[in-house]
Amino acid sequence: MSTKEIALNYPIAYINHILQNAPFFKPVQKGKREINLIINHKYSNGDSMTIFAQEQLDIKDEDLFLSILAITYISFRGTLIDSSSELYKDLNSNFETMKSIKITTTRYELLKELNISPQSTTSIKWVEASLNRLRSTKFILNTNKLDGEYMSRLISFKISTTSSNTKIIEIALNTYICNNFLQSNILKGGIISHNRQERMSLKKEISRALHSYLNALVNVKKSRLFNINTLVEKLYRVDINTINKYNKSKKRKSIKDGLVEINNLELWEIDFIASDLVKIIRK
């Protein structure tokens, strides 16, 4: 039975492959969110990134981040800002020659894009807490494509209240992402597109995490083989050889359950070839 896609106003999100492949987000058990993290990541081309997170970003935080990216690019309502802006300054970017893009939105719009009830007090508190987690996450990128280290927060934001008592949210994206938007690199490659209608139709967080990961590695009309243990290590950021038998089994089952849900999407096919091997097909 195929999963019905959710209708969204901003169905596609674009992200630079460098940030897409960085380990910002992972599945987090309720009440077990890690704090004060320093994550070092190496890319196959020799680039490296260090991530500083006050709180671990989870998959729902990634849902929100992708919705912000989608609104920014697809709506064309963003405003260019530079180092004279307070939102820009709050990004703490060390490349002040790069522009940032600011969007103005509301908690209602963000929650609707996440298919979450905007009437819930809990949801309203969550979206503000998630924005704070995204803002408090910083990264330093070392790449030969730039002259020196690049440093920034993921986003900056400000909430204000209008005369009609409406909460307005201004969000600025880090300039590394914006530089790709402004140079039209989306059309030149090096950019990952996310079908958010597919993603937000997936109920399990691990399914959405897998969807994000596989999006970057399996091209349309192509297929690829994956080892289940490798997926466990990539998605949960663990060494499969250092966790006990129970946790290993639990995480492997979670990955398989997520793949089964993705298999219900119209444009994906999952073929379990062996207990440790799965073939991912994009139609």
Residue by residue, pLDDT tens for the chain (283 residues) are: 456 667 799 999 999 888 999 999 999 988 899 999 999 999 988 999 999 999 999 999 999 999 999 998 876 678 899 999 999 999 999 887 888 999 999 999 999 999 998 888 999 999 999 999 999 999 999 988 777 799 999 999 999 998 888 889 999 999 988 877 666 554 455 788 999 999 999 999 999 999 999 999 999 999 999 999 999 999 999 999 999 999 999 999 999 999 999 999 999 999 999 989 999 999 9
How far is 104 from 102, CA to CA, in rounded Å? 7
| Alpha-carbon distances, residue 190 vs 14, 18, 44, 148, 279 (angstroms) | 10, 8, 15, 20, 24
Strands in 268-274's sheet, in edge-to-edge order, are: 223-227, 277-282, 268-274
As a 3-state breakdown, the chain gives helix, strand, coil percent values, each rounded to 5, of 35, 30, 35
Contact call for residues 175 and 157 (beta carbons, < 8 A): no
Count of CB atoms situated within 10 Å of the CB of 214: 19
Count of all residues that appear for the chain in the document? 283
How far is 98 from 91, CA to CA, in rounded Å? 12
Which residue in this structure is represented by tokens 């987090």? 28
Q: What is residue 265's predicted lDDT score, i.e. its pLDDT?
A: 96
Predicted model pTM: 0.94
Describe the crossing of helices 121-135 and 59-74 by its angle, rounded to 10 degrees.
Answer: 80
List Cβ neighbours of 144 (8 Å cut-off, separation of 6 or more).
46, 47
Count of CB atoms situated within 10 Å of the CB of 276: 12
| Helix or strand holding residue 171 (H, E) | strand 167-173
